[in-house]
Amino acid sequence: MRKLMLVLFVLMVAVAARADTVWLTIENVTPGNNNGSYYVYPYNFALTSPNSSTYVAPTSSTSLVPLICDDFNDQIYLNEYWEATVTPGSNIVGNGQMDSSGLSGLATSQLQGYEDAAYLYLQLLQNPSSANSVNINETIWALFSSNANNTYNNNGLNPSTYNSAVQSLYTAATTATAMNGGLAGLADLSQVVFYTPIANTQVGGSGLPQEFIGSVPEPGSLLLLGAGLLGMVGLVRRKPSEENS
């Protein structure tokens, strides 16, 4: 039993260590939440070919993963696919695609923007209603880009003119992530991962794809994956637009 657990631990570490990149295929945006102009959370992806430069298309049995977009200025198309770097939230600063500097968004720094985005996304997971999907995704977009404000409200580029829902969510996020000297925000970042597109890997779209946020897989998922790998070890031993989103 001790040897079995050791093998499982090694396999889990190996899987985690190799999860540096993955291929994303945007399959659908069901149930179709939108703000009248753009689709919002969830964007449903098939994730395939981890840590491989070769794309493998998903099959009908591939599970879809719902992600939220933090990037208003770029765009994707249904069935487009690309390779992305998978970055833990705690390492996203300096590695992420979004940076509030020069974008005139609500966030005053990349760290604040990503902390607030993580907080808002985790709140949405607790109550993923259509209204919350719209308001929270708009707020996350507004953290990094004033263009989101301009599109929704036609109020120019002044972040203070965002609608009341965005302002309220932004205030709640900054208050929460500022607690305990920012430790609350860092804790929130530890619960998410970022899928940052690798330039020039996209197929089926135009320009750089958007960056997306997802939740960290539950430990139970890793255990199931490890169990599956153990099963494969046993087998080896026995048998030597397109829609614009």
Assess if residue 244 is contained within a domain.
no
Contact in structure between 129 and 121 (CB atoms under 8 Å):
no
Interatomic CA distance for residues 39 and 30, integer angstroms: 10
* Contacts for 154 with CB less than 8 Å, ≥ 6 apart: none
State the residue range of the domain holding 77: 2-238
Domain membership flag for residue 171: yes
How many domains does the chain contain in total?
1
Longest dimension (CA), the chain: 68
Is residue 212 a part of any domain in this protein?
yes
Residue with tokens 């607030």: 116
Domain presence at residue 34: yes
Is 220 contained in some domain? yes
Q: Give pLDDT tens digits along the chain (245 positions).
A: 544 444 444 444 444 434 489 999 999 999 999 988 899 999 999 999 999 999 999 999 999 999 999 999 899 999 999 999 999 999 999 999 997 665 567 888 888 899 999 999 999 999 999 999 999 999 999 898 877 765 555 444 444 556 788 889 988 998 888 875 656 666 678 899 999 999 999 999 989 999 999 998 655 444 443 333 334 333 333 333 345 55
**pTM, to two decimals:** 0.79
Q: Is 243 within the bounds of a domain?
A: no
φ, ψ for residue 174, nearest 5 deg: -65, -35
